[in-house]
Amino acid sequence: MKKRITILLKFTGIIVALLLFLTLFIRIERVQKILTDIATYYLSNYLETEVSVGSIYTNFVNSVTLGDVIIEDLHGDTLLYVGSIKLKIQLRALLQNHIKIRAAEIDKPKLYLHRLANENNFNYQFIVDKLTTEDTVKTRAPK
């Protein structure tokens, strides 16, 4: 019985030490720069436009803060500037390669909306199109 308790305590200690190491590691400036580059690359590719993220901070457990975020429209003009965006996320979803946002706090947003005279849509329509998903409810075919 003592051996099992000792093994359990050692295992718990290793897990706590690993989480502490990861928390400290993720706060290193160079690691934060790498995370910023990854976020910028992902957002730019997903939105198919230029996206700039000045900084990123995470507490590793359930929140990510992006600082100085700029999203351009399809003409290269600034569509959105945000001083910071704090996202509370579900860690379990991340482990399944999904992003589920429980809450978002936006600080100092500046949104520049316009429609050019020769276009039917506003400059943000491409983002709406990207975020709009098709119905994924499966229906049975009649027999």
Distances (CA, A) of 21 to 12, 14, 16, 62, 116: 14, 10, 9, 17, 51
Give pLDDT, residue 82.
94
Residues of the chain with pLDDT under 70: 60-61, 94, 133-143
**Vertex 123, ends 118 and 127: CA angle to 5°?**
135
Give pLDDT, residue 143.
56
The bridge status of strand 63-72 relative to strand 78-89 is: antiparallel
Give pLDDT, residue 29.
78
Give pLDDT, residue 89.
81
pTM of the predicted structure, to 2 decimals:
0.68
pLDDT tens by residue, 37-64: 888 898 888 888 899 988 888 776 678 8
